[in-house]
Structure formats: C-alpha cells, structure tokens
C-alpha cells in the first residue's frame, strides 16, 4: 500500500449525468483544465485530481462519470478498498455495471 496515497483524504463526486460534477471538482481544485460540457457523457472515466499544500498532497477529488442510480453507485463505491486508485475503481465499476 502506498502510505502517502492512503493518508490523503479522497472524495468521489457522484451523481446523475450532466449535473455539474466536473464543475464542482474544477471549482474545489481550482483547476481550469478540467473539461466541462453541456453535453451528457463528457466524463467517461473516473479521474483523480489532487489538491496540494506546500507541494504535499492534501485532498484528492475523484470526478466520476454520471450514473443513473447514484445511491446504488455510492453503496458500491463504499465497499471499495480505501487505497484503490481512481483507474482501478473505474475499471471495476465498468465490469460490475456494464
């Protein structure tokens, strides 16, 4: 397990398609390079964005694709290992929900 990675608080932003999840992540991370679109489905995979303080990771936000059943998704996500990275979560989600 990556100790530095596991000590950083991670927050997954989940919800319905085209409801502003990427906009929230962009605002919280103060990043203008996050793609935001009025077209549903712009975010196709979970992507991690880390907020740093003094060049050290402080918080991590995971921007997720839109889900039709967010409560079911959140329940599924809460069962994932806390040290699992965004790509592994995304791959696992695609296997379990496709």
Chain center to CA of 69:
16
Is residue 30 a contact partner of residue 18, using CB atoms and an 8 Å limit? no
CA 89/CA 64 separation, integer angstroms = 10
Helical spans, DSSP H, in 1-98? 3-6, 21-29, 70-78, 86-97
Q: Could you tell me the CATH number of the domain that includes residue 48? A: 3.40.50.300
Place of tokens 């990675």: 5
CA 70/CA 66 separation, integer angstroms = 8
Predicted TM-score of the model (pTM)? 0.67
pLDDT of residue 30: 94
pLDDT of residue 38: 87
pLDDT band at 53 (very low <50, low <70, confident <90, very high): very high
Query: Domains in the chain: how many in total?
Result: 1
The fraction of the chain above a pLDDT of 90, given in percent, is 30
List pLDDT tens digits, range 11-37.
889 888 899 999 999 999 999 999 898
List pLDDT tens digits, range 73-90.
778 878 877 677 767 776
Select the more confidently predicted residue: 56 or 72.
Answer: 56
By C-alpha distance, which of 50, 8, 55 is closest to 31?
50
Residue 69: which domain range? Answer: 3-97
């Amino acid at each position: 397990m990556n100790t530095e990675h596991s000590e950083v608080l991670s927050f997954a932003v989940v919800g319905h398609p085209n409801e502003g999840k990427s906009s929230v992540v962009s605002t919280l991370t103060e990043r203008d390079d996050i793609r935001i679109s009025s077209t549903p489905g712009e975010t196709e995979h979970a992507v991690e964005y880390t907020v740093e303080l003094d060049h050290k990771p402080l918080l991590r936000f995971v921007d997720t694709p839109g889900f039709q059943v967010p409560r079911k998704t959140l329940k599924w996500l809460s069962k994932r290992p806390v040290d699992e990275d965004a790509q592994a979560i995304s791959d696992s989600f695609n296997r379990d929900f496709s």
